Each structure stands twice: as structure tokens, then as C-alpha cells.
Amino acid sequence: QVQLAESGGGLVQAGGSLRLSCAASGSIIRINDMGWYRQVSGKQRELVATITSGGSPDYADSVKGRFTISRDNAKMTVFLQMNSLEPGDTAVYYCNANVWNRWSGYGDYWGQGTQVTVSS
């Protein structure tokens, strides 16, 4: 089994910053891409940022220049530094990882989600 544990969400004023973390654990042979998605109630989950195992990032246009994704492969952890937060960034943020599981091969796994609320 594979578990993704997120932390770092919370309430912040517009213009503020938050840092999300997501640690993977379990029967993991290798982690490929990791990423962050977000979802507002009643809307589809959307991509925020992804990062390859080699450290190459990709961002949604809406967060470019404000958010930075990074990872620590030794700790199987991915981070999302969010600066200049806007009320439109309010959502539940989910961690995602493409993992080679010891028992079931490659698969996509999701964290439980962490709430980010930006007040105006």
C-alpha cells in the first residue's frame, strides 16, 4: 500500500503565504511525477503544479510566478510554496504521486486533501 500525507493548509489573508507538504510512505519502489491539484466544491479538480523525478516543474497559468513546487526524493516528499495568495486560490489541495508499488506495479495515488482558505 501507498499513503500520501499532506500538511500545511490553513487560513491566510490575501497576499500572504503558505507552504504545503506531502510525504509518501508504504511499499514504494520508485516515485515518478508528483503534483498538486485543487478542487472547489461543485467544480472539477484542476492541476496546480507537477514535478518530475528529475525536478522539472510545470505550472497552471493561474499560479505561475506565485507558486513553487519542489521535492525531496530521499524523503519522498513534495512541497508547494504558495506566495501572493488570492481569494481565488481558496480550495482543497490534493497531493498526487505516480508510484511503482512493490506489490501492484505503477499507479496514481492521492492524499486526503488539505483546506486552503484565503480571505480578502
Output the 3-class SS for the chain.
CEEEEEECCEEEECCCCEEEEEEEEECEEEEEEEEEEEECCCCCCEEEEEECCCCCEEECHHHCCCEEEEEECCCCEEEEEECCCCHHHCEEEEEEEEEEECCCEEEEEECCCEEEEEEC
What's residue 1's pLDDT? 87
- pLDDT on residue 102: 87
Contacts of 55 (CB under 8 A, 6+ apart): 70, 71
Q: Whole-angstrom Cα distance, residue 112 to residue 5?
A: 7
Q: Tens of pLDDT along 85-110?
A: 999 999 999 999 999 998 888 999 99
Cell of 89: 486560490
Q: List the chain residues with pLDDT less than 50.
A: none
Residue 110 β-bridge partners: 96
Cell of 31: 516515485
Q: What is the pLDDT of residue 22?
A: 98
Q: pLDDT at position 91, please?
A: 98
